Structure 1
Amino acid sequence: MNTLIAVIVIFGLLVFIHEWGHLVFAKRAGILCREFAIGFGPKIFSFKKGETIYTIRLLPLGGFVRMAGEDPEMVQIKPGYEIGLLFNQAGKVSRMIINNKSKHTDIKVIQVEKIDLEHDLFVQGYIEDGEELVTYKIDEKAEYVYDEQATQIAPYNRQFGSKTVGQRAMAIFAGPLMNFVLAVFVLMAYAMVAGMPVDEAVVGDVTEDGVAIEAGLESGDRILSIDGENVQTWEEMTMIIQEHPNETLQFEVERDGEQFDVAMTTQERMGPEEEEQGVIGVTAPMEKSISGSILFGFTQTYEFTVLIIEALGMLVTGQFSLDHLAGPVGIYNYTGEVAAMGILVLFQWAAILSVNLGIINLLPLPALDGGRLIFIGLEAIRGKPIDPQKEGIVHFVGFALLMLLMLVVTWNDINKFFL
């Protein structure tokens, strides 16, 4: 249950902040955003605020912001249709009733002759007796109603395609950008609570199962030298210890201005590359400061970014196989393990996942934000947009391949963790 809660909270936050980035910058550009969704599939919960419907959907596989002009309109009004009109105080059409007109007694019914919902915003048609041709202006925020569901029209100046290359690129780039921003703030919060490691050869804490506590080391002890080799930083100290697993080392220690020597036989553990490393059971010293926490948030986010990009490079060059990738099942399992280590470790894990989501979405692959940015960039170079139908086909094929990859990775996760 704790794992499930942790996964829902973390992934809900990552998807929310990503889609919120798209939403905010799209609205700033004047794009009509019809829906802000967390998840895919059937709606579980929804409410409308302003022009946008906010929904939570059944399948927790991501989210989306539905911007006007990206997809064809669900309902199209064509010549010959009979529609009912409602007017606002300015005399403009505020609602167009497509069907179930009998439920509305205060409408004016016309048979459509011409209609323009994108540029000139008017409807022309014959009133019920079929003889008088009338023309009405349509309000730019008018709605059409189909099956009693109201949808706001999208004049061309409110559509995604009407905006400048820069505005559209920013609306797309803002999603991944917000994931990096989230990682910075999460790591800043972590540093403010837990402190930041200080690169000094000083004992922070002594673990209960290490040789350091048996040798009498205490928090705050400064290591001056190891086997006669002077050390000043935490990195210098740990490198010497790690290079000598199961060996006895002579430590020169300073405590409260007094110096003394102590011998310790290092313990052994496996390093990240399956090599033997020496440890003595001490942690790095920590400090807390607002300025340091801010710096820590940015530097750690940068380091996580570099590590993930390097790992992706190794995957492309074949140094990593698909077996090293984790899908939803693997991430769920790892999140459970991290959650068991405590809230602070979970903070770091959330930051790593946020950076990972930002980087993955920026890859120049169809159906991802990076792929969409490539098409916008090509438009900027060519001076005209790519054929929307061709672009749509590319994104569809890319999406299908991504789903196939997810199935393969998920199957690998199931074999790894359950079979």
Structure 2
Amino acid sequence: MQTVIAFIVVFGSLVFFHELGHFIFAKRAGILVREFAIGMGPKIFGMMKGETLYTLRLLPIGGYVRMAGEDTDSVELQPGFRVGLILNRDNVAEKIYLNQNVQNPNVLFLEVERADLEKGLWIEGYDEDDQFTRINVSRTATLVENGTETMIAPYDRQFNSKTVGQRTMAIFAGPLFNFILAFFLFAILGIMQGVPTYEPIIYGVDEKGPAAAAGLQAGDYVKEIDGQPVERWQDLSSTVQDKPGEPISIIVERDGQNIELKMTPDTLEESGKEYGQIGVYYQSPVEKNPLKALVFGVTQTYDYTVLILGLLGDLITGQFTIDALSGPVGIYKVTETVAKDGVYNLMNWAAVLSINLGIMNLLPLPALDGGRLLFFGIEALRGKPVDRQKEGMVHFVGIVLLMILMVVVTWNDIQRFFF
């Protein structure tokens, strides 16, 4: 149960912040947001607030912000169409009933001759007395069909009516908010746990390793290695790893005195590559400073971004295969392990996942945010948008391929963890 709750919290947070980015910048651009959804598939819970429906859906594989004009949500009233209109005091239509018999004496029935519900906002047709009339439509009018109400979307409130810059920000803001979430999580960890100083202080020594044989002790402060000053633990670690089987000299400070120790790192091999090891343990001292915690949030976000991009590059160049990828099942299993190590480790894991989600969504692939941004870039260069039908077909193919990939990585996860 603990794992389920941890997974829901982590997954929900990542998706919520991602979609929140889309939502905020869409609203800033004046776009009508029809739905803000966490999860996909059948609706579990829904709440209408203002002009947006907020929903929680069954399948934990993402979420979405549905904006007016992005899909085929527009309604065209064809000639001969019979509608019922509720008018306000200014004889402006506030509600439009489609194909329904409405038992309301205040409803004006029209047989539509022409209509414009996007730019002109009017309906022309013949009333029950066969009189031709024109009714203006409110910008906030709702369409009622089979008991479901949908707000109309005037053209200036549709996604495609906005500038390339506004549309770009509405899409880019999703991944951007994932990086912002990661920054805040790392910064909070820095405030609560302290910021690692990475001072080169020996935390422990393996009694069977070269370091113990040379006389290195817990608490020793490493000053130099092979004549080079050591300022951070990484300086010592990288030098030792680069010299397997080669004698090295280390100067440490102990009880106010400098002591020189000589040793030869053991040679270990991993993935066909040799590296050195002297048998010491490290735990960085920490410093609690709010300002440094903010800097820590930036540096950790940057470092993990570089790391993930490097792994992505390895995948592209074939240095590891698709079998190494994980889907929801794999993320769930890792979350199960991490959750057992405490809330701090869970927060760190959530931050890393948030960066990963941001990067993956920025890849210039169809159906992803990056794919849509690529089309916006092409539009900016051409001076006109790509044909909507062609773009839609590309994204549709992308969605199919992503679903296939999801099935493959999920099957890999199932085989890896359960067989």
Bigger CA drift: 32-41 or 329-338? 329-338
- Structure 2 residue aligned with 1:332: 332
- Structure 1 residue aligned with 2:416: 416
CA, structure 1 residues 292+102, in 2 after alignment: closer, same or farther (shift >3 Å)? same
CA, structure 1 residues 273+90, in 2 after alignment: closer, same or farther (shift >3 Å)? farther
TM superposition score normalised by structure 1: 0.89
- Structure 1 residue aligned with 2:182: 183
- Structure 2 residue aligned with 1:355: 355
CA, structure 1 residues 31+385, in 2 after alignment: closer, same or farther (shift >3 Å)? same
Amino acid at match of 2:184: F
SS at match of 1:89: coil
- Structure 1 residue aligned with 2:66: 66
SS at match of 1:102: coil
CA, structure 1 residues 338+244, in 2 after alignment: closer, same or farther (shift >3 Å)? farther
- The answer to whether the Cα contact below 8 Å between 2:248 and 2:262 also exists between their aligned partners in 1 is yes
- Structure 2 residue aligned with 1:161: 160
Map of 1:269-418 to 2, 5 A cutoff? 277-418=277-418
Superimposed CA distance per residue, residues 278-323 of structure 1 (whole angstroms, 9 cap, x where no aligned partner): 4323312211211211111111111111111111111111111111
- Structure 2 residue aligned with 1:95: 95
Amino acid at match of 2:233: W
- Structure 1 residue aligned with 2:46: 46
CA, structure 1 residues 235+411, in 2 after alignment: closer, same or farther (shift >3 Å)? same
- The answer to whether the Cα contact below 8 Å between 2:206 and 2:280 also exists between their aligned partners in 1 is no
- The answer to whether the Cα contact below 8 Å between 2:43 and 2:55 also exists between their aligned partners in 1 is yes
- The answer to whether the Cα contact below 8 Å between 2:225 and 2:248 also exists between their aligned partners in 1 is yes
SS at match of 2:281: coil
CA distance in 2, matches of 1:55, 1:210: 59
- The answer to whether the Cα contact below 8 Å between 2:205 and 2:279 also exists between their aligned partners in 1 is no
Amino acid at match of 1:327: G
Superimposed CA distance per residue, residues 323-369 of structure 1 (whole angstroms, 9 cap, x where no aligned partner): 11111111111111222222222222111111111111111110001
Bigger CA drift: 384-393 or 84-93? 84-93
Amino acid at match of 1:200: E
TM superposition score normalised by structure 2: 0.89
Bigger CA drift: 266-275 or 35-44? 266-275
CA, structure 1 residues 240+105, in 2 after alignment: closer, same or farther (shift >3 Å)? same
CA, structure 1 residues 207+93, in 2 after alignment: closer, same or farther (shift >3 Å)? farther
Bigger CA drift: 84-93 or 233-242? 233-242
- The answer to whether the Cα contact below 8 Å between 1:33 and 1:66 also exists between their aligned partners in 2 is yes
CA distance in 2, matches of 1:265, 1:3: 44
CA distance in 2, matches of 1:8, 1:293: 27
Bigger CA drift: 254-263 or 84-93? 254-263
Map of 1:180-259 to 2, 5 A cutoff? 180-203=179-202, 221-224=220-223, 231-239=230-238, 253-254=252-253, 257=256
CA, structure 1 residues 185+407, in 2 after alignment: closer, same or farther (shift >3 Å)? same
CA distance in 2, matches of 1:355, 1:340: 22
CA distance in 2, matches of 1:194, 1:122: 62
Compute the displacement of 1:32 (Å).
0.6
- Structure 1 residue aligned with 2:148: 149
Compute the displacement of 1:246 (Å).
11
Map of 1:100-111 to 2, 5 A cutoff? 100-111=100-111
Compute the displacement of 1:18 (Å).
0.5
CA distance in 1, matches of 2:239, 2:375: 51
CA distance in 1, matches of 2:269, 2:300: 24
CA, structure 1 residues 382+239, in 2 after alignment: closer, same or farther (shift >3 Å)? closer
- Structure 1 residue aligned with 2:128: 128
Amino acid at match of 1:14: L
CA distance in 2, matches of 1:345, 1:312: 24
- Structure 2 residue aligned with 1:140: 139
Bigger CA drift: 337-346 or 160-169? 337-346
User: Where in structure 1 are there 5+ consecutive unaligned residues?
Assistant: none
Q: How well do the aligned residues superpose, as a CA RMSD in angstroms?
A: 3.0
Amino acid at match of 1:116: D
CA, structure 1 residues 170+243, in 2 after alignment: closer, same or farther (shift >3 Å)? closer
- Structure 2 residue aligned with 1:172: 171
CA distance in 2, matches of 1:343, 1:273: 36
CA distance in 2, matches of 1:23, 1:378: 24
Amino acid at match of 1:352: V
Compute the displacement of 1:37 (Å).
0.5
Superimposed CA distance per residue, residues 206-261 of structure 1 (whole angstroms, 9 cap, x where no aligned partner): 59999999x89566x52345799864432233345556899999976545646678
Amino acid at match of 1:234: W
- The answer to whether the Cα contact below 8 Å between 2:221 and 2:252 also exists between their aligned partners in 1 is yes
- Structure 2 residue aligned with 1:35: 35
CA, structure 1 residues 230+378, in 2 after alignment: closer, same or farther (shift >3 Å)? closer
Amino acid at match of 2:165: G
Is the counterpart of residue 83 in structure 1 residue 76 in structure 2? no
Superimposed CA distance per residue, residues 111-165 of structure 1 (whole angstroms, 9 cap, x where no aligned partner): 1111110111001111112x21111110111111111211100111111111001
CA distance in 2, matches of 1:246, 1:286: 33
CA, structure 1 residues 264+45, in 2 after alignment: closer, same or farther (shift >3 Å)? farther
Amino acid at match of 2:411: W
Amino acid at match of 1:338: V
- The answer to whether the Cα contact below 8 Å between 1:268 and 1:278 also exists between their aligned partners in 2 is no
- The answer to whether the Cα contact below 8 Å between 1:207 and 1:282 also exists between their aligned partners in 2 is no
CA, structure 1 residues 134+359, in 2 after alignment: closer, same or farther (shift >3 Å)? same
SS at match of 1:143: strand
- The answer to whether the Cα contact below 8 Å between 1:253 and 1:261 also exists between their aligned partners in 2 is yes
SS at match of 1:411: helix
Superimposed CA distance per residue, residues 171-198 of structure 1 (whole angstroms, 9 cap, x where no aligned partner): 0111011111111111111111122221
- The answer to whether the Cα contact below 8 Å between 1:191 and 1:288 also exists between their aligned partners in 2 is yes
